[in-house]
Amino acid sequence: MKRILIVDDFEPGRLVLRKSLEKQGYVCQEAENGLEALQTLRATYFDLVITDNTMPVMTGLEFIQFLAQQPPAQQPPVILLTGTPSRYLYDEARLAGAQGIFNKPYDAQILFSEISSILQSR
């Protein structure tokens, strides 16, 4: 079973995404911000991380940039979700290694297709 970490400070958004992914057979865990996600990643292996960008403590972009500095074995693929898209965010997130970037509100079918594609390629 593939494991996905969902990182977002907006609890209802995390819950909806988690329930949708669990219906598709994924095992999901949640974190409220990038710092909590890093702590969770130290304790548990995940096949994929889906993170919001705008969060307190550590943004999604900061989280991805921190992961990029870790050994390759400690860098799960990451999808970034954002409600405030910008060329700067896209460029920096891609440079840091984001596998996908989706604007909120996102099309669930397209997001789930991207998740499946990323997980199959690993």
Q: Any idea how long the chain is?
A: 122
List the chain domain ranges. Answer: 3-120
Identity (one letter) of the amino acid at 104?
K
Q: How far apart are CA 46 and CA 29, in angstroms?
A: 9
Neighbour-count burial of 110, counting CB atoms closer than 10 A to its CB (0-12 exposed, 13-18 middle, 19+ buried): exposed
Per-residue pLDDT of the chain (122 residues; tens, 9 = 90+): 999 999 999 999 999 999 999 999 999 999 999 999 999 999 999 999 999 999 999 999 999 999 999 998 889 999 999 999 999 999 999 999 999 999 999 999 999 999 999 999 97
pLDDT value, residue 29: 98
3-120 CATH pick, 3.30.56.10, 3.30.70.420, 1.10.357.10, 3.40.50.2300 = 3.40.50.2300
Say whether pTM exceeds 0.75.
yes
Q: How far apart are CA 89 and CA 53, in angstroms?
A: 9
Is the peptide bond preceding residue 105 cis, with omega within 30 degrees of 0? yes
